[in-house]
């Protein structure tokens, strides 16, 4: 038995005193004492354990190491100086790093499953993909390329595919792991393989037999150029299927032609053959799955990801179809405008007044809390649709006044959508009712053609607004019926593509209103009653 004072005069401590000084419980200190982390130096006459003063430091070190996740055997070895702390901590750090990597993979899998709404059956496959080694990941891509290419003689395209493998870093981000999971699922889609094989077949037939880095750089430069020009056109509100897209198409074709100098088919200049070839190339490459394949590869490898070309590509494809050779669309429009003997110009003013009044009623009935609701116009909520209704009035008024506006992207609605529409509509009525306006020439068109265009725009987008806000779509039935001939004449020959102004015509029920039929012809979906 010992006294409470050590031979050198220092006071020994009881478990209770250690607990008070360290903040640890008596029970925990007793357990650590039993396993040798802080062995007692003796006991009191009553049998209570006594510890040297340095037990406080030993206990604090033990607590720190435990908080860092070390096991008690390792803690005992460090505190008892059986092993160096640097050695033990390094081993533990490596183990902890591996655990963190595993946890990150698990987190990425769970988040990916949540974001995609994965089924219980899909989760095991996602987890397996996330745990694959680099060799196993590469093997999946090699197999995909081999199955896609088969015996196709397109070595340059094959080499391009094989040159880029999914190289996840040692410590991938959640985004990178998620991208690998998505890529692993994507390469199982037969549609991706079919799309890439079409591209390979096209490349084998038309691309230079010995492409070099200069060819690659030229393609990148031309792509960057046409994407920039198309995005500018979209921002300015230029419709791909209009004659105003012609200068954009001509500029792109002129920039693209030099890139075809070493191609199997070399156009002589801008014309129908050149535009068909460019359209053909764009359509072969226009597959969102293939684009996603390369985007995911970039994310996995930590490279910059090019923005999707889908929207710009759809616009240019549509513009090339609508303008198949220089001046084609303008010639069609001119021919159409010259064939107007059966139209009473004054009737267009009456139609315009009627339709503006009915759309005014629709606009006034829209409460502010409905401005965020979706509409039949893809990408537009009710507020954006109302802004477009105002813009169409402002645009055609400015054309009638000889001072065309170009602020397509501005906010034309402000805080009061009803007032904004009424001001714009009144300006339209004033401009169109100016004496002589309907007989005045605006380029190849008479003024009444501008009036007619506003009638069509207000009917179609008025229908969109009525549909979006639950109002009657039976707008100005006699006007909608009468204007249908002009709508078919103006828009009947336009390409009904994703980048165009209108989707393909939709079916209508037998009891559809005239405005419903007009909207359906221009690609709107009309609710049909169940069959039978």
- Kindly state the average pLDDT of the residues 135-144: 91
Identify the band that residue 160 occupies on the pLDDT scale cut at 50, 70 and 90: confident
Which tens digits make up the pLDDT trace of 447-461? 999 999 999 999 999
Query: What is the residue-wise DSSP string for 263-292?
Result: SSS--SSSSHHHHHHHHHHHHHH--HHHHH
Token couple for 361 = 């009623």
Identify the band that residue 85 occupies on the pLDDT scale cut at 50, 70 and 90: low
Of residues 434 and 210, more confidence is placed in 434
Q: Are 39 and 33 in contact (CB under 8 A)?
A: yes
State how far the Cα of 431 lies from the Cα of 337, in Å rounded to an integer. Answer: 21
pLDDT for residue 61: 83
φ/ψ of residue 526, rounded to 5: -105, 135
Q: Are 408 and 391 in contact (CB under 8 A)?
A: yes
Identify the band that residue 331 occupies on the pLDDT scale cut at 50, 70 and 90: confident
State how far the Cα of 437 lies from the Cα of 440, in Å rounded to an integer. Answer: 5
pLDDT for residue 323: 94
Which tens digits make up the pLDDT trace of 44-74? 888 889 998 888 888 888 888 888 777 888 8
Identify the band that residue 340 occupies on the pLDDT scale cut at 50, 70 and 90: low
State how far the Cα of 407 lies from the Cα of 395, in Å rounded to an integer. Answer: 9
State how far the Cα of 148 lies from the Cα of 493, in Å rounded to an integer. Answer: 38
State how far the Cα of 471 lies from the Cα of 362, in Å rounded to an integer. Answer: 7
- Kindly state the average pLDDT of the residues 67-90: 77
């Amino acid at each position: 038995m010992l006294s409470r004072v050590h031979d050198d005069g220092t006071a020994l401590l009881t478990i209770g005193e250690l607990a008070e000084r360290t903040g640890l419980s008596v029970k925990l200190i007793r357990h650590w004492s039993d396993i040798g982390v802080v062995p007692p130096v003796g006991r009191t006459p009553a049998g209570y354990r006594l510890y040297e003063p340095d037990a406080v430091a030993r206990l604090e070190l033990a607590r720190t190491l435990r908080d860092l996740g070390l096991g008690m055997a390792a803690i005992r070895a460090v505190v008892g100086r059986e092993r160096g702390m640097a050695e033990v901590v390094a081993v533990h750090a490596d183990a902890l790093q591996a655990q963190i990597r595993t946890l990150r993979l698990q987190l990425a899998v769970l988040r990916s499953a949540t974001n995609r709404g994965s089924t219980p059956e899909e989760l095991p496959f996602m987890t397996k993909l996330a745990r694959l080694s680099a060799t196993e990941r590469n093997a999946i891509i090699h197999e995909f390329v081999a199955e896609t290419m088969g015996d196709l003689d397109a070595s340059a395209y094959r080499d391009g595919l094989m040159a880029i493998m999914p190289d996840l870093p040692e410590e991938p981000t959640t985004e990178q792991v998620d991208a690998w999971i998505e890529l692993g699922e994507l390469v199982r889609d037969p549609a991706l393989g079919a799309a890439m094989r079409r591209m390979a077949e096209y490349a084998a037939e038309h691309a230079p037999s010995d492409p070099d880095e200069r060819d690659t750089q030229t393609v990148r430069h031309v792509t960057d150029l046409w994407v920039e020009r198309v995005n500018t056109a979209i921002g300015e509100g230029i419709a791909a299927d209009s004659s105003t897209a012609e200068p954009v198409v001509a500029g792109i074709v002129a920039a693209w032609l030099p890139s075809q100098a070493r191609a199997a088919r070399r156009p002589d200049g801008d014309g129908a053959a050149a535009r068909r070839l460019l359209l053909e190339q764009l359509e072969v490459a226009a597959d969102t799955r293939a684009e996603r394949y390369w985007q995911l590869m970039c994310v996995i490898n930590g490279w910059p990801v090019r923005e999707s070309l889908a929207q710009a590509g759809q616009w240019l494809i549509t513009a090339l179809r609508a303008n198949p050779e220089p001046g084609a669309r303008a010639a069609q429009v001119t021919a159409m405008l010259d064939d107007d003997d059966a139209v009473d110009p004054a009737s267009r003013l009456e139609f315009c007044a009627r339709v503006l009044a009915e759309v005014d009623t629709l606009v006034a009935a829209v409460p502010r809390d409905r401005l965020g609701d979706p509409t039949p116009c893809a990408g537009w909520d009710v507020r954006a649709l109302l802004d477009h209704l105002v813009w169409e009035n402002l645009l055609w008024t400015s054309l009638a006044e000889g001072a065309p506006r170009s602020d397509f992207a501005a906010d034309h609605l402000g805080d009061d959508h009803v007032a904004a529409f009424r001001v714009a509509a009144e300006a339209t009525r004033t401009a169109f009712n100016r004496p002589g306006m309907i007989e005045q020439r605006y380029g190849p068109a008479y003024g009444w053609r501008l009036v007619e265009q506003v009638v069509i725009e207000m009917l179609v987008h008025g229908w969109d607004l009525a549909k979006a806000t639950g109002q009657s779509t039976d707008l100005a039935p006699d006007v909608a019926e009468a204007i249908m001939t002009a709508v078919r004449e103006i828009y009947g020959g336009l390409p009904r593509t994703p980048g165009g102004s209108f989707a393909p015509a939709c079916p209508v029920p037998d009891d559809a209103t005239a405005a419903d039929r007009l909207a359906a012809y221009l690609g709107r979906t009309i609710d049909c009653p169940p069959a039978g």
